[in-house]
Structure 1
Amino acid sequence: MLKIVPDPPHHLHSLEDTLMLASDYALCAEAVAQQAMLMQPRSPVSLLMMASMHELEALRKLLESALAQIHRPADPQALH
């Protein structure tokens, strides 16, 4: 029997690629929350949107830190 919907492709990403993709998603989600705040600044849910923006910004900083750790040499004393 044929499948109507095919299975999604299975792409194996490196850790760096995965972190960069996660950072992009966090940036997009933060932009959506900012746009929602601009559209409804006095909405009862505006505090929740601001909290979401804060959490997404913190997430992006953590992801950037993880990316920086990937690029850092494992043993900085071995460079001597």
Structure 2
Amino acid sequence: MLKIVPDPPHLYPPTLEDTLIQASEYARCALAVSHQAIQLQPRSPASTLILASTHELESLRVLLESALIQVQMPAEPGARH
């Protein structure tokens, strides 16, 4: 059954981890769109720009995943400087 009324917004600010997860999802969606655009119009004059965008989005996704891993790692007791 579909929800008619959406969930209320969170009253607390999102954590850094939540923000990185959401940014990763946006990057993944944008990457899927760029892949689809290239498949639909492989010989388009804009295909070079779409491929460049795809490459940049893939780099962004990797950076976001790396940041998320760093946030999720437990802090080691002797790692502070």
- Structure 2 runs not aligned, ≥5 long: 1-8
Q: How many residues align?
A: 70
Supply the distance in 2 between the matched residues of 1:27 and 1:35 (Cα, whole angstroms). 12
TM-score, scaled to structure 1: 0.78
The aligned runs of 1:4-19 (5 Å cut-off) are 12-19=13-20
Distance verdict in 2 for CA 1:34–1:77, change over 3 Å = same
User: Which structure has the bigger radius of gyration?
Assistant: 1
Question: How many Å apart are 1:74 and its aligned residue?
Answer: 2.6
Q: SS where residue 44 of structure 1 aligns?
A: coil
SS of residue in 2 equivalent to 1:23? helix
The aligned amino acid for 1:18 is: T
Regions of 4+ moved over 2 Å: 73-78
1:54 & 1:77 partners in 2: Cα distance? 38
In structure 1, stretches of 5+ residues that fail to align are: 1-8
1:21 counterpart residue number: 22
Two-structure CA RMSD over aligned residues (Å): 1.8
Of residues 51-60 and 69-78 in structure 1, the stretch that sits farther from structure 2 once superposed is: 69-78
The superposition leaves residues 35-76 of structure 1 with CA deviations (integer Å, 9 ceiling, x where unpaired) of 010110000000000000000000000000001111223336
Q: Are the structure 2 counterparts of residues 76 and 54 from structure 1 closer, same or farther at C-alpha, using a change threshold of 3 Å? A: farther
Superposition pairs of residues 1-80 of structure 1, within 5 angstroms: 12-75=13-76, 77=78
Higher helix share: 1
Q: Percent identity?
A: 61
- Partner of residue 3, structure 2: none
